[in-house]
Structure 1
Amino acid sequence: MAIKVLVYDDNEALRTSIGALIESEDDLEMAAAMPNAETVETDLEQLRPDVVLMDIDMPVVDGVAAVKRIRQVSPQLPVIMLTIFDDTDNIFNAICAGASGYLLKQHVTEELPGAVRTVLAGGAPMTGSVAKKVLAMVPKAASPEQETSNLTDKETAILQLLVKGYSYKMMAAELGVTIDTVRFHIKKIYDKLHVHSAAGAVSRAIRDKLV
């Protein structure tokens, strides 16, 4: 069964381009393309997407607000931010709102199909320049009252790879372990950080300077 992708972007030409890109992939299917996220809760109920692509700068309801609304009704649904902005504030706000990944529009053609598959595999896909900024802003975003996470060295290593956008398969290859071992450690990380998703773990890692 094809992966259903729901797109929100106020640029009609870009919506058309993304739709053509998605439909060119055998395992992807366009659920719908919306100019804004005003009806996001209804859209999710009616269209049942597997992944959402969300522009940040939209009229009526902006992307960060839309992600927050999605998390109220669907905590686990992968949401990838798709935007021209790579400034620190937008990145941090999107991730803290519950975004699962962050891609720049200029890299859509080469990165989007893989990012959709990666996010469904448990990864947090990010354009390379965005991932660097995420890591660079960790000290600035650290809470002065951060809690100790009690992560082991292995769990910390996996969390760092999660922040970089690695999929479970990529983590396993990087660390020389099985995918089941990665899943075991990811579950432990979620339990210790009191989160339920890769996006939540990345948000805690950034906020509390865990990596």
Structure 2
Amino acid sequence: MITVSIVEDDPDIRESLALLINGTPGYACIGAYPNCEKGIKGILKDPPDVVLMDIGLPGMSGIEGIKILKEKMPELDILVLTIQSDDRVVFQALCAGACGYLVKDTPPARLLEAIRESYDGGAPMSTRIARMVVESFRVTPETSLTQRETEVLTHLCKGQSYKTIADELFISEETVRRHIKNIYRKLEVHSKSEAVAKAFKEKLVSL
């Protein structure tokens, strides 16, 4: 059972998301909050597996909420679900600690799939967001990463889980984790989302 909490100020959208999640076998909505202030308090008290976070919220922004939650719960998976899709907001969210980024016209089936991908260690993005990211950055030849580390980072930026990366590269999950640990150290980051954001920002990968 994948547990989900929602932070969304629109009551109709919030209710629709909760109904979708609770109506799908294997998923359960354990919290639905209208703003970050209430969301943070509720999520810290009753942590879910995945948080669906809006960005444009009254009071504290979703990006600030992500930062606070990730500081207090580094392992928490936070999936952005918003109408905002400009590159500045996308990278602010990723740098804050979001594991993925979806726009609100995402079909219900894809949203549920993205929640599971987040739970499994992936970094799901809406097609238009992924395309925007790819088109905005080019690969740079200068990097301290080894060829294998760059390959692992590239797969990580595609939103793939550790298991999928291991299967794609014909290595063990433990080897993937070792490479990712080295990537974190070399890039001076502390999470998957920070590594992905830095990879795009510094043009370390070509998708």
Alignment TM-score, normalising by the size of structure 2: 0.88
Query: Counterpart of 2:75?
Result: 76
Deviation track 1:19-74 (CA, whole Å, cap 9, x = no partner) reads 12211332211011111112343222211111111011111122112112212212
Matches within 5 A, 1:137-176: 137-138=136-137, 150-176=144-170
Where does the alignment leave 5 or more consecutive residues of structure 1 unmatched? 143-147
3-state DSSP class of the match of 2:151?
helix
The answer (yes or no) to whether the contact 1:38–1:61 under 8 Å persists in 2 is yes
* Kept in 2: contact 1:67–1:99 (CA 8 A): yes
Distance 1:165 1:9 in 2: 24
Q: Which residue of 1 aligns with 2:102?
A: 103
Shift of the alpha carbon at 1:149?
Answer: 5.2
Secondary structure in structure 2 of the residue aligned to 1:38: helix
> Which residue identity lines up with residue 54 of structure 1 in the other structure?
M
Aligned to 2:6: 7
* Aligned residues with identical type, % of pairs: 40
1:186 aligned onto 2:180: yes
C-alpha deviations, 1:164-201, integer Å up to 9, x for none? 21222332343333433323322222232232321111
Distance 2:160 2:94 in 1: 16
- Offset, 1:108: 4.1
**One-letter amino acid of the counterpart of residue 127, structure 2:** G
CA contact (8 A) 1:83 1:103 kept: yes
What TM-score does the superposition give when structure 1 sets the normalisation length? Answer: 0.87
Asked whether the 8 Å contact 1:6–1:31 carries over to 2, the reply is yes
Q: What's the offset of the Cα at 1:99?
A: 1.0
